[in-house]
Amino acid sequence: MIQTREYLLEYFEKKNIEYKEYSHEKLFTVKDSKKLRGAIAGAHTKNLFLKDKKNNLFLISCLESRMIDLKKVRSALLAKNLSFCSENILLKVLGVGAGSVTPFGLINDIEKKTKFYFDKSILDFETVNFHPLINNYTVNMSVKNFMNFIKSLNVELHLINLEVYRVE
């Protein structure tokens, strides 16, 4: 069963993961986010849900300003021919639609199909922001609490220096 924003927030409460939630218009792109987010502190992110030719799944969470060259990053992921996943796969695996991709969606990946890669540069921030499974809210939490969330799901976290794989 796909979990909802409400379930996610209850999960945070159960696990004593402190957070702040902000309500706003639906945000589909980084450009939308920059325009409408207001004064939410911390690292603002974008999330790429990718697949390779063998249908291996990858979620990359990075700073919103990152321009990643998918041809370069595939070597770090040990993948060939990366492409963006269809909305159908997004819904089935992470339980989110386009514009709502978030590592919080890993709560729905009970089969642990997704390999999660986290931009090391986010560790330089005190807090980080992600959509809570729906794109008209933003959750802000400490990076430490985010790491505790990932650990609580038994998801293997791959830290990656995405600066190396930037678009030139």
Q: What is the pLDDT of residues 5-44, one digit of tens each?
A: 999 999 999 999 999 999 876 765 656 666 555 678 899 9
Q: What is the pTM of this model?
A: 0.92
Residue 41, token pair as written in the block: 């502190």
pLDDT tens digits, one per residue of 44-56: 999 999 999 999 9
Band (154; pLDDT cuts 50, 70, 90): very high
Are 138 and 165 in contact, with CB atoms under 8 Å apart? no
Q: Architecture of domain 5-165 in CATH?
A: Alpha-Beta Complex (3.90)
Where along the chain do its domains lie? 5-165
Residue 140, token pair as written in the block: 């802000």
